[in-house]
Amino acid sequence: MGGRRLALGALGLVLGLLTAGTISASAADPLVSRGKAVTASSIEGTGFEASKAVDGSTSTRWASVEGHDPEWLRVDLGTAHTISRVKLNWEAAYAKAYRVQTSPDGSAWTDVYSTTTGDGGVDDLTLSGSGRYVRIYGTARGTSYGYSLWELEVYGVDGGTTPPTTTTTPPTTTTAPPSGLGYPFGSRQQPYAAGILRPSGSTSALDAAVVDYYQRWKSAFVRHNCNSAWTQVLATDADHTYVAEAQGYGMVVVATMAGADPDAKRIFDGFVKWKIDHPSSIDPDLMAAEQDDSCRSVNGSDAATDGDMDVAYGLLLADRQWGSAGTYNYKQLAIKHINAIKRSEINPSTNLLRPGDWADSGDPRYYVTRSSDWMADHFRAFRKATGDSAWDTIRTAHQNLIKTMQQNFAPNTGLLPDFVERTNSTPRPPAGEVLEDPNDGKYWWNACRVPWRIGADAATSGDATSLAAARKLNTWVKSKTGGNPGNIKVGYQLNGTQISSDVSEAYTAPFAVAAATDPGSQAWLDALWNKMVATPIGGNDYFASSIQLQVMITVTGNHWVP
């Protein structure tokens, strides 16, 4: 546009007045966006990261994936600002229709400019608004490519007002964060333990890769079937259309991605309604584990521990993220769910998790536990939320069992079996099928998640037991594969003997979290990261894709414990 939009046209002026108040010419206001934290809905590839749009160079640029609408670029100014001017220097891949938006919290957005007749070039917009975040939200591309900006420049002054959040907080809830979001994605408010690695590259590039993968994961698997008020993760490769494990993953992921996804709260509330409407037939404060194509609970309508652990954790994330004064009291629901896990899915004599609320004292699996359920960071969050010291005892029991199993059955590998039996006497891997598969006693389709689960606690807590267990796994797999992630295979005996020649990101990705715990594994972590970024999402591979997404969140420093 060659700078001819020095002031709003008639349409833009009306929209600006309606949405942002009186327009003030503020040519003298300083540039406040250069070098600030910036994220994008996607990137075309290496070299086109979001940070390139605020680096002050007109020879570098951000570019979104090609052929997709909508896409966005968001800059975090660090504090609330009064915004007077936004200058957009478009590359050839420009936006025909886009909005300039501001937000106090990265979640609720206000349009301060909108057009459907963009023609590229330079858009130099005088406008009026306030907020900590400024977003360019493209809804229609001007070409068949994507959206691309040489530079995004935001001008204004520090100290813009942020509208207060008014809440009525019941006694059992957490007050809604004043900013509207407690932990917007990318804020990294909870630092990791000393020495924990991240993949090489800028923070903005890492975040952009996570957001890109999240958007593709959401498109492939998140649904609102049977009832528009419900949200589900479609478990394309599970035994049933919907499983509790998938819904738990969805709740944790979506609550974590708030700030990057403006629809996160609406999507999350759909998960909550699904949970409420699908109670376990045994303990109704837990969630029924399996549903069919018609969204009806099936196969006994009882609960599965892995799903319940993540559902409770997701509710705690939501309470810290949005507060509990909205449609659902997340904190109250979380505490009910946590207490039900303790009541119906913990063995009171061993303090170990059972596979589900159905594994009662009359069931032969009463003294069986599944290694991928041992989520120490979840136990820590449950302790904090409830004030119940039993969760410290429960966490310690699981960490002691990890140590025992590694020492007695995998001294050279650190690998854990899918299940452990005889937990009331001498714990051991089962010789054959105990619940799901003849390989229940091997490192198989449940235990493949263990390096991620143990590593997540090591990274966030610095716990010595978790660190030792994660590093043992990392040392073995790095040596076993010769530092090549492509050599990680599907399944191992506990002594490290390969079971299958197949490969899956369900096995590859979790080792990235273990790698992050070892200060000497930067090159190995980078290789694992690059493998993940290069792996497309398969529409029939919900399990591996969901695990990889959560691993990407964790290794980029975006995992936090409520």
Question: Which residues are designated catalytic?
Answer: 245, 306
Assigned token pair, 481 = 């594969």
Nearest to 300 by CA among 363, 351, 222, 233: 363
Q: Are 138 and 84 in contact (CB under 8 A)?
A: no
Nearest to 528 by CA among 473, 478, 453, 476: 478
Nearest to 74 by CA among 105, 43, 47, 50: 50
Residues in CB range of 219: below 8 A, 6 or more apart: none
User: Per-residue b/e over 232-271, b at no fewer than 16 CB within 10 Å?
Assistant: bbbbbeeebbbbbbbbbbbbbbbbbbbbbbbebbebbbbb
> In what helix (H) or strand (E) does residue 128 lie, and over which residues does it extend?
strand 122-141
C-alpha span between 502 and 42 (Å, rounded): 30
- Helices within 147-290 (DSSP H only): 203-221, 244-256, 264-277
Half-sphere exposure of 389 (CA within 13 A, CB side): 0
User: Per-residue b/e over 213-225, b at no fewer than 16 CB within 10 Å?
Assistant: bbbbbbebbbbee
- Helices within 47-189 (DSSP H only): none
Match 């590039």 to its residue by tokens: 205
DSSP 54: G
C-alpha span between 483 and 498 (Å, rounded): 16
Residues in CB range of 280: below 8 A, 6 or more apart: 286, 287, 288, 289, 301, 302, 303, 344, 357
